[in-house]
Amino acid sequence: DAGVIQSPRHEVTEMGQEVTLRCKPISGHDYLFWYRQTMMRGLELLIYFNNNVPIDDSGMPEDRFSAKMPNASFSTLKIQPSEPRDSAVYFCASRGVNTEAFFGQGTRLTVV
């Protein structure tokens, strides 16, 4: 397996634009997590899914953020409209029932 795949690796966008981050989890993993990493706040869990169903989105900062998992092999994190304070590295991770979490390489988002 190629591991957790995220795209794009880097994204630069202007304030107010919509941004979509993509994640392909490891095949067979039941859980998918979206994290955000910043210098100020470290690694924060934004939302996680179990069997494609959102279970806990309490970490989503505000309504501008939304996440979907239409099937077991794909998830998106969308920010609309984007703001400079959204600049961060966004990680996707997946986990099986009895495995540890495996992380993608991350998407570095810069909002100017």
Residues that bind other proteins (CB under 8 A): 4, 31, 33, 42-43, 45, 48, 50, 55-56, 91, 93, 100-106
Of 45 and 81, which has the nearer Cβ to other proteins?
45
Strand order in the sheet with 65-71: 5-7, 19-24, 74-79, 65-71
CB of 27 to other proteins, least distance (A): 18
Q: Which is nearer to other proteins, 52 or 80 (CB)?
A: 52
Find out whether 89 and 35 touch, Cβ atoms under 8 Å: no
Token digits of residue 70: 């239409």
- Smallest distance from other proteins to CB 4, Å: 8
| Closest approach of other proteins to the CB of residue 58, in Å | 10
Q: Write down the number of H helices and E strands in the chain.
A: 0, 11
Paired strand residues for 6: 23
Which residue shows structure tokens 């490891």? 26
Cβ proximity to other proteins, 57 vs 68, nearer residue: 57
Least distance between other proteins and beta carbon 6 (Å): 8
